[in-house]
Structure 1
Amino acid sequence: MGYGSDASRNQSILNQQFFITHESDPSVLDLFLQTAAPVVRRSCAGETVATNPSPFFALPMMTVFFPYKENGFDQTCAITFSLDSILEIISSNSTNTSFLINDSDELLVHPLTERILRGESMRNYPLVRIMRTQNKNGTDSRQIPFEDPEAPALGELVSSSLIAEVAGEKKLFSFSSFVEKVFNFISEHDFLIRKLGNLEVSHKDFYGAYCKISVGDISVLTTVPLAYILEGVETTRRNNIYLTLVVFFLSIIAILFFGRYAISRHLRRLTIVADKIQSGNFDLEEKQLKRLSSNRLDEIGVLNQSTKDELDFLNTFARFTNKNVAKAIARKEIDFEPHLKDITIFFSDIRGFTSISDGFNKRFGDDSPKEIINFLNDYMARMVECVSLSGGNIDKFEGDAIMAVWGLMREDSLEFEHLPEGSPVRLDAQKAHLAHVKQDALNAVMGTIAMRYALMKYNKDAMEYTAQHENDAHASFKPYIRIGCGINTGRATCGIMGGSEKMEYTAIGDSVNFASRTESSNKACGTDILFTEATYNMLKDEFIKNPSNNFTIREDYAPYEIVVERIPVDFDVKGKGVQHFYGVVNMPAFDVEAFFRRGNPDFVADPDCLKAVGPDGPTTLDEVREMLGIPTPDFAKVNLNAEENKVQVRK
């Protein structure tokens, strides 16, 4: 029974079968606990106390109060149990008498159950007095002789034989065996030798032993008449051991029970959360966090709160840097040394953002920064979702521009390039590497296609938002926008850049600059999504119908088909020669709902925006231009080499 100062928190677990079998009323337990209030207070204060409830139950019983804490409250667990098993042990040999007392010398266990039922005090018993008054060294166990003036006569002791009643059986006590046993105990029982010198033992002479148990300050005492000492000492020792073990194991059970539910269970929960954080999982379920109770006033409560604070910091830290990079750092997977990687780089930019900003300034004045940030946060949150769901990493934001990378966190060494040409190991590694790079390029196109849908949904929401607030005193609005996206696949230097005060994990190099140039060429090409010839060559055999695959795509690649049109303007790229851009028309089998449900299982696509991509999407670049309101350029006047001068390399 859990018991404390707050009665509303008291709990009990009753063995109803016990009360039925012994025809006892459970209310007796409540009556006993009411009278045991001083003991309850001692236990709540931190003591383990044993007491005798037998007078209440009219049955041999014992109650042990174990202190514990729960949710900051001092509690006690009162375990009341029958003494049948213990009485069976100590009553198995009538040669000696074993009994238990508590720190108040109250009789807890005795072979004569009527003494237990009377609730006798053993304070005046000679062995108890000796234990309490003459234990100068404070030992927990001792074997001592003593005299009990009130002991009944045991009968005459004859020199040749002694007939003793032991456990209901007659046993012959021979002189020869008597002498043999005496010599066995000479070294440690000089007193007994002196007593038995003339084979005259008084019925008042006893040999007593006691052992103090740390649990509940219980003392186990055993007395043996000297007439039987030689044949009963081994049994006595065994009984003491058994009795000690019984009480010991009862204590262990209680300690394990409360240790499991008060400490171990909470530590296991804390360990699970800590392991998930260490593995880079910062997005823990609310249910798991609630199980880390910080209302506890002990060390576990402090640890729980510290873990929650650490998780909040890591989530905030991840938002200000890069979530995948933060997780890699937590998992100790980040490579701080710069190295080359084949990656796919993405840039996007809002068309006419300067004019949009001027519009905010004219409309909102001093409040324009807040309104611009709110607008950009709404737009960028949608774009970031597309990058994350397609396996990319946001590298940085530059004003209204976004830089993202696919393959940045991939563990993919280029050491195979140093192996001999045609080596099987090199060919296998090269094949695996190419598959990874190709998948990154495909994921980048899928993420960018998803952005087209997300942008159309944003524009629809922005128009509805503006219409809802047009009559407000300070009418809010969100602008209708168009963006340009550029994708390039190539080799870049990846690693940690910066100093001790500020660092970031990023990619730099010609491939990054070319991706930025590709994005800025959308306006001249009349497109919203362009990718380079390097990305085209990476994807064309499996995912793009073209002469190299006889305009046929394998069935297993059909769900990822990409429709593109080559921009009819060539341009020079340093080190690569004449190049072309490719405008992305659509991915005809793209499933908008399946894509966004990777992050939100309840996502439902807006029917009005499904025309942006997928089965209902455009089939030519002209249809894309018409859908997005992009004028068709006069390609005879387009000079993409001149566009290079407009590129600003993103740092």
Structure 2
Amino acid sequence: MRERRVPFPLVVKLIGIISLIVVISMGLVTGLATWFYAEDSRIRGEEQNLLLSQILAVQIENELHSLYSGALSFLDTLREFGGSAAAENLAGGNYFARNPVVAYLGVPGEQALHNRTFLAAWELEKETVGIILEQNATVIERASAGESILINVSGAMGIPAALLAAPYTDMGSDNALVLIFSTEQLQTILQTNAASEPYLVGYNGELLAHPDQDLVLLEVSYGTDPLVEHMFTSPLETMQFQYELPSGELFFGAFRKIPFGQATVLSRISREVVLGAALAVVRQNLYLTGIVLVLSVLAVWFFSKTVSRPVMALVQGARQIQEGHFELSLQPSTRDELGLLTESFVQMGQGLAERERIKDTFGKFVNKDIAEQALQGKLELGGQRKTATIFFSDIRSFTAISEKLDPEAVVEFLNEYMTLMVSCVEKTHGVVDKFIGDAIMAVWGAPVSQGSAEADALLSVKAMLMMRKALLTFNQDRGGPGRPIIRIGCGVNTGSCLAGQIGSAERMEYTVIGDAVNLASRIEALNKPLGTDILISEFTWELVREHILAEEMPPIRVKGKTEPLRIYAVINLKGLKGPQTLAEVRRLLGLSAPAALNTPGKKEPDWETEVKYEILPE
């Protein structure tokens, strides 16, 4: 098609005046001012971050020395009493009254004093302290050798708490002084109004104190934090630097080491927060630029009529397209680039409307992701090996039900039933592969996995439990003439299969094929003889066994397999209300336990002519 030439180019009208004013005002004034102010903000932010870590380190170190010195003085007092129990009890009561945050003070083999008031307030037992001391015997031995170490014991105490082990020399013998205390005061020290995030870590990177108390209770390790890693490798006691997280976010970090206790105060602040003040300068410069632009608008006022009206019409058209109204009634009002753009815009809307109609229609017959790929011309024959979870369901005695109803009634109740079941599949990120009469085949893990085979398998089980619940609701008002009660059987297997486009270049279908698919179909058929509604293979069971309640059924042998296979009847998810045994499931669904299971080679009357499985003796 011959390219149309624009008789009156818009660039001739506006490029001279607008380019000169806008480029000079916005580019020069805003750019330079913002850069200078941002650089100044960065320097001040780094200095304040470093100063904060130093101040907090001094405060925390003083707090630790205060606890340690008070404990030493108390032990000296006990020595002076010379073994008087009454005096020691009085001194201990006074000490713990002045140091209510201390839960335990002890010297291995010599002294072991518990703050009964502290333990009672937090509902703790002396045995808890004993367990903590036993678990940290190595740390106490290191303190006897001359080190001072501060560690987190919040997990065992159930509150933010720490253990301080420091050298203690008494009568010429080396020992250790052990303090277990609440870190509430350390938490308070770190609660600042600064924009930085301060936190305290121990010698091994374990979090000791943080404004977020929950992180301390969880004893989170910051050993892999880039700031902590840099601190460990640096010989300096205090330092600041810029680093990047794996997410790409930039931070200014600083640290100050505390020799006593081998702890470190670290502080970090996001680069975006530091440079946020520069945005205020940007706004001021934009105000100035606005004044310049007003003068520009006045200069090009006579030209604006040929620009503003078509542009506003295009804006309205864009909003209509955004809302899903693709058929536009725009007419070009100028003979320049905007007029040509308006014509192209209308044609684009018509193309989008046609594309949406095709997509909506096609999406009702295949998965929407597949429909999108088909419209983009990305569908090709072939597939790839995937580990997926395959699901089959079937309505029990559907042939007998359909023979008693008019065809219209069969289609009506089948559509209603399918709508409920498909909703359960889609809510759990599954894909309906196909409908086979009254049967449904669905897949989790293809074409898109939810992260792992375990996650896909668990979602399939959740979908089947949702189907069970939905079917119970569906059957509540059924049971009369023309409205039969529906019972279904579901079977699931997880395994390797081939997923992709199967068919020919003229007609293809996305599906999964392989032994794993066949086994899922066989398992579904076993629900009727076993008196169950949900069965999973041993391969699926191994993936979800930690999350579900299930009962092992008799082993089976399926056609084409020599080794017996184990199958399981799904009862419920662990921790949820509802049936807790297979017997409760059967009572809930009105199913009967099998009187006697078939023997190998024996064929039930309802089975297919070819025996595709047999139930083995337990």
Larger RCO (CA under 8 A, 6+ residues apart): 2
- Name which one, 1 or 2, has greater alpha-carbon Rg: 1
TM-score by length of 2: 0.45
Q: TM-score, with normalisation over the residues of structure 1? A: 0.43
